[in-house]
Structures are given as structure tokens and as C-alpha cells.
Amino acid sequence: MVHWDVKGKSVLITGGASGLGAAYVQGFLKAGIKQVAVLDIAEDAGKQFTADMNKTYPGKVIFVKCDVGNEECITAAFNEVVAKFKTVDIVFNNAGIMNDAPHIWRKMCDVNVQGLISFTYKAIKHMRTDDGGAGGTIINIASVAAITKGDLLPAYSATKTAVLQFSQCIAGNLFEQAGIRILTLCPGPTDTPLLHNLKERGGDERAGEKLENVLTNSEVVTQSVDSAVKAMLKMYEDAENGSIWLTTDNKPVKNITPVIDDAFNSFMNAMRN
């Protein structure tokens, strides 16, 4: 098994100014990366977080304001990071919205799907070893919502299923052809602000109340941020291109690629028979 080391790597992460994204940034820094670009739409929070991180890791963190739901912003931000870092080794598509409310779900689709796809394509073009790049890793955040059935957040679940399928399809033979890994991480409920104000995140009042009741149920294990960060780093170290990983319930991260492959194979067999 090949062991991948984050030490000395240059990282671009979206949605990195707060919540789990900020924790991922700190995890990377503790693991010895060279530098990280924190992209986020929240400018004040991003600048403050960057300043705080640079007190402990001088000169290693930059902030770039970016609306991941806006293509012009994505292009400008990506180009700015490349201009400063020259080489980006890891592109981490972490930014996401979890909100099925009528006035938000379209924006959620833009951020969770279109923004992630755009950054992935830009990263591939930058990293390709068969076109002058240095190779690298792209991490796409899906969710357990992509692989479970339920009526709590149908629009959100659809976006995360799209992430899972897109990542699987584009991974293909990308590592053999261009030296790039596409990795997909599916976190379960995690103790971050994303789980706050749950009533407001449903498609309507009834859905919001049901969402809150289910996710605050004592039987639902909310994993710690530390557990989620350790899972991500372990995945980075061990994962093969195109693999899918599950992190939930504060358990060790698990490679669920065989489970997903079996499901696809069963479907293909059903089509043929």
C-alpha cells in the first residue's frame, strides 16, 4: 500500500474559515503542510481565522474571499492561489450548504454541486502530470445523506449524491493517466454549526421539525470534529484514486468503495437480466 504524506504540501480548501473546514485546516497545519489557502465567502471570519492561524504557523495561511456558487469568483480565486503558491498539491472541496428551505435550495445546488465540479476541473487541469503539472489529490466532501434513504433533506441529499457520482465517474484512470487522485469522504452528523437551527433547514415547517427531532434524538451519535479530522487525514494517507470513505459515530474511517461498487454492479446486472 502506498502511503501519502501531507508534509510539505500546498493546500486549497473551500469553506475553510469556520466549522469543520477550519478544523481541517488546523489538522493539515499540525500535520506539517507547507501552506494553505483558505477560501470562504465570510470575509471577516476568514481574515480573523487566517490571522489567528498565522500566529502559530507564521506565513503558512492566506485567505481568499470566494463565493463558491459564482463561477467568476471561483476562477479568480483559483488563479490567485496558483499565482501565489505556483503549485497546488491538494484541492479540498469542503464548502457546502445544508438547507432545503425554499429561498436557499437553489443556492445550495450551486455551491454543493456546480462549485465543486468547477474547482475539480480546474484542479485537474492544473495538476495533470501529462500536461506539465505535478500531480496531486482532490478531496470531495459528500455525506452519509448520499448513501442513505430518507425524506428529511431531499434536495441536500440529492446534491451529495451528485458529488458521489461525479467523483466516481471522473476518477476513472486519472491517477494512471495524470497522477491525480479523486477521493470522496462521506461524513455523518458532526458537532459543528451545520447542526444548529435545524428547524430552519427543512423544506417547510413540518420537515424542519422532523429534521430537528431526528438529529437531536439520543440514538443519533454526533461525531466529534477531532474524529472527523483524523478520518480525513487517514483517508488522505491510505486512499486509492476513486475510493469512497465513511466517517461517522466517532469510529475509525472506513473504505466503503466495495459496498458502493457492489450496489452499482447489482444495478448493472438488473439491467442486463
Residues designated as active site: 156
Q: Assess contact for 24 and 47: CB atoms under 8 A.
A: no
